[in-house]
Amino acid sequence: MPPSFRADQVGSLLRPGVLLDARKSQAAYRDAAVSPDIAEATKAAIAGAVQKQLELSIRPITSGEYERSIFYSGFFEKLDGMTTNRALPLPDGFRKGLPNASVFLKLGRKEGEANIATGPIRRTAPAYMEAWETLKSVTPPEHWGECKMSLPSIGFEHLQLAHGTAWAPGVYSSDRAYFADLATAYRAELRALYDAGLRHVQIDDPNLCWFFVDAFVDGCRADGVDPDELFDLYVWAHNEMLRDRPPGMHIGIHLCRGNMNAFHDFAWGSYESIAEKLLTKLDYEQFYLEYEDPKRQGSFAPLRFLPPGKSVVLGIVSTKTGELEDIDMLEARVREAAEVIAKSQGRSAEEVLEDTLAVSPQCGFASVSFSAGDGVTEEKMWAKLVLLRDVARRLWKDAI
């Protein structure tokens, strides 16, 4: 199948000033559900973002993740059995060589946050249903099928926590038992969202790229963990989550490399060492891969492993800077990627272009509510999304 949208977006948008003013602190974000004023400001901001996306023909339609404080919030905390620890010591509470832990230390932080299974993991209440219903309420019904929501990766908590500490002693007998319960919770959440009308889901995974970061791989080995076996575990967990997914629900995975200044360099390198397993073993139909900077991510050569029938959304526009890319250069890069895939699949580049590729920003514009790339304003953000729309219109007849 062709990609869901020819000009896609990763999901988060810069929060408007009025919303940031209503939310004075990180605590206010966490308590948004109990504050009518914040809830109303959030809904109004989402309505404004939806209207802007409709006016500019930007798809898919997202809430901008305005209801979240950070891209992964709102899921693990709502599962029975999960307990949030906001005072885990850095670095000892986290996996050896974890890139973001080292960044936090450089920023002067002494503690981090994670969710630990202190009991069997169960989904007894919805996590993102309220957010989905809010997005529906401000989107014309004829456009509900063009909406997309993101969920955090199933491996997010397990990978960052110190080896062997993802669950409390006695809760689980193995990693697979932990992930089996977590996958069941994800499947229930996806089914509920599907039954409520959601058709497009993006899984945000900032972790799998760490498997080509030397410090992380060395940290695994120092813990007596085989990094290849750990990667295989996460592939299995993702596929367990995807098992029995609703027919007609399109689910892709975004391999996030970060958009905040402090994290620009923590996942530097090519996808080469993980590409074959990533593209052939994961059961996702669509991969969002960051390719805005050849110096940072390398060439398109790893795309030679992409099997026919799967698609790639090329993240070729940067959310790290406000500088607007050249449309001719972007078109040329898409065609270059098509040539790599075509050669490996024994097809023409035009065939690959037609049924395999799409474009997007390399990441969200504000994975954390108060963050933005260098010189990125709301005006420049919308200009970049319009640029991607125009690239898509050049390349594909079915682009909006």
pLDDT tens string 351-384: 999 999 999 999 999 988 877 788 999 999 999 9
| pLDDT tens per residue across span 202-221 | 999 999 999 999 999 999 99
The confidence score (pLDDT) of residue 1 equals 74
Residue 269 pLDDT: 81
17-395 domain in CATH 3.30.1130.10? no
Alpha carbons 379 and 396: distance in angstroms, whole number? 26
The bridge status of strand 250-255 relative to strand 200-205 is parallel
Percent of the chain predicted with pLDDT > 70: 95
pLDDT at 374: 87
Domain parsing of the chain, residue ranges:
17-395
Residue 267: predicted pLDDT: 67
Q: Looking at residue 123, what is its pLDDT?
A: 98
Residue 32 pLDDT greater than 60, yes or no: no
- pLDDT of 27 reads 56
Q: Which residue has the tokens 């029995």?
A: 244
pTM of the predicted protein model: 0.95
Q: What is the DSSP string of 231-271?
A: HHHHHHHHHHHHTTPPTT-EEEEEE----SGGGTTTT-S-S
Higher pLDDT, 154 or 370: 154
Give me the pLDDT at residue 150, please: 97
Name the band, by pLDDT with cuts 50, 70 and 90, for residue 77.
Answer: very high
CA torsion sign for 124, 128, 134, 138 is: negative
For the stretch 262-301, pLDDT in tens is: 555 666 789 999 999 999 999 999 999 999 987 777 899 9
User: Above pLDDT 90, what percent of the chain?
Assistant: 83
> Per DSSP, what are the bridge partners of residue 116?
83
Residue-wise pLDDT for 91-136, tens only, equals 999 999 998 888 888 888 999 999 999 999 999 999 999 999 999 9
Q: Given a cut of 90, is residue 261 above it in pLDDT?
A: no
Residue 36 pLDDT class (50, 70, 90 cuts): confident
Identify the pLDDT of residue 103: 82
Average pLDDT on 134-162 reads 98
Alpha carbons 314 and 291: distance in angstroms, whole number: 6
Per the prediction, the chain carries an average pLDDT of: 93
Distance CA 281, CA 151 (A): 20
Give the pLDDT band (50/70/90) at residue 259. Answer: low
Smallest CA-to-CA distance from 148 within 189, 192, 202 is with 202
